[in-house]
Amino acid sequence: MEKFTQLTSVALPLDMDNLDTDQLMPKQFLHGIDKSGLDKGLFYNLRFTSDGEKTPACVFNKPGFEAAQIIVAGPNFGCGSSREHAVWGLMQYGIRVVIAPGFGEIFYSNCFNNGLLAARISEADSRRLFVAVSSDTPKKLTVNLKEQTITAEDGTVVNFTVAPRHKTMLAEGLDMIDATLKDLPAIEAFRAEHEKAFPWMTGLPGRWNRNRNSQRR
């Protein structure tokens, strides 16, 4: 995955609570088995009318917001179903950071597994950021992962929280498997100590599989 350390970008304000994954990625865009084309489905019902025309009032469609890489959202962003397509769609659209007072639990994990920063801030700081950005005039935010700060053009600075493991994954461009493999020496050391203390368990899963397979013959 691409490493993330700092980003300065126009911010898309979505001052709505409980934006669920059904709104992020409607069901009609889930028919494929790969990740291609999901950017077209992102917030489709907000971005387009029932006739497929762009909704002029939607911030995604306003001049200057086309290349935005940051979303500032309300509480409980990404709640609802566990569809990982929601995160894939955000990434394909170009979004690298979502800032909100809270996130759906599964969506939150999916973000970091795919290299997207879900920056959790307080309710009070959320209101400050919505004042600092605009849905009419593009305003930039700078997100610094090391310092865990978000800085607006008007000088507003707020802090966000992120777990140390997730912070490392983003900074080093690791997915969950890569992050686990970093701990391989410790895992192997634990296994050796465990097998020494409980020798009768050594190779037990393999023996069970072999016995099961022999019974099937």
Cβ atoms of 76 and 18 closer than 8 Å = yes
Q: Rounded distance, CA 194 to CA 179, Å? A: 22
Q: Helices 105-113 and 85-93, interaxial angle, to 10°?
A: 50
Task: Output the six-digit token pair for 9.
Answer: 């970008």
The two structure tokens encoding residue 157: 């600075």
The per-residue pLDDT for range 189-208, each reduced to its tens digit, is: 998 998 899 888 787 766 65
**What is the model's pTM?**
0.87
Closest among 121, 85, 109, 125 to 169, alpha carbons compared: 109
CA 112 to chain centre: 5
CATH class in words for 6-174? alpha beta
Pairing of strands 70-73, 6-14: parallel
Query: Measured between alpha carbons, how far is 44 from 24 in angstroms, rounded to an integer?
Result: 8
Q: Which tens digit of pLDDT belongs to each residue from 5-59?
A: 999 999 999 999 999 999 999 999 988 777 888 999 999 999 999 999 999 999 9
Q: What average pLDDT score do residues 162-190 get?
A: 93
165 and 179 Cβ atoms separated by less than 8 Å: yes
Please state the rounded mean pLDDT for residues 113-134. Answer: 97
List residues bridging with 72 in a β-sheet.
13, 99
Report yes or no: 61 and 69 within 8 Å, Cβ to Cβ: no
The CA distance from 152 to 36, in Å, is: 33
Give the Cβ contact number of residue 105 at 10 Å: 11
The domain segmentation of the chain, as residue ranges, is 6-174, 184-216
